[in-house]
Amino acid sequence: MESPADAVPVDGDGEVVDGRPDPHAGGPADVFARLAMELHESGGVGETVDAVVQFALQALNCSYAGVALAVRGRPEVPAATDPMVAEIYRWQMTAGTGPLVEVMQGRASLLVRDTATDQRWPEWAAKVRSLGVRSVLDVPLATTASIVGVLGLYSVEPDAFGTDDEAIARILARHASVAVATARNEATMDQAVDARKLVGQAMGILMERYGVDGDRAFAILRRYSQDTNTKLRDVAQQLIDTRRLPR
């Protein structure tokens, strides 16, 4: 019979007293509701993908997890639960082969049941197996427009990912895709607002110094931007910092 000392203390919301959430508390609906809330409250892309991999590590039958995002056409690794995951990703990026590469190019998940027997990417399988990984599940983070990244799940056990794991991973990936796309859109909007503020400040400097109106000040900034092949916000920033236009 289990003694009180052996019991795991949880509060009324299914949270372990030491602060770690029980990923299975309350059933799948509650699990993903909690995840959606955490992702919605994340402050940016980095915090969003970190929440994804930490949740995957708790909720799925994996030893390690990571996210690779497509940035300007190339994958980057902003979150991983172990440096080994980033190493696996970087090796595939350099070699141009492996499940990550194929998932980035398509829209389907890829499962490697055992790196000791899978023959699709022999060099990759040997590399991953040398790191102690026996099974891999890569799931695309996709929106209706494009693939924004890949969620990678790794286990030291062969055939670790069953049907339930795949289903949960796909649901997790859908939540993560929306969260990442939203975070990126918000970041882009923030950058646009910052750029408008910089241009406005630079226009004010030109208007005060040369006695020109707003239209003329903006035309001057745009001409310098075109002549020097420099982004308009960078021209504005240089004028603000140095009180001189770029040469």
CA dist., res. 170 & res. 168, Å (int)? 5
The verdict on 132 and 227 lying in the same domain is no
Q: Per-residue pLDDT averaged across 182-195, rounded?
A: 60
- What total number of domains does the chain contain? 2
Beta-bridge mates of residue 142 = 147
pTM, entire model: 0.63
Does residue 21 sit within a domain?
A: no
| Model confidence pLDDT, tens digit, residues 197-244 | 777 888 888 888 888 888 888 888 888 888 888 887 788 888 888 887
Residue 5 domain flag: no
Tell me: do 100 and 199 sit in the same domain. Answer: no
Domain match, 209 and 170 both = no
Which runs of consecutive H residues, i.e. helices, occur in 64-213?
Answer: 83-95, 99-105, 122-130, 163-210
Instruction: Rounding to the nearest 10 degrees, give the CA dihedral for residues 59, 61, 64, 69.
Output: -60
Residue 8: count other Cβ atoms within 10 Å of its Cβ.
10
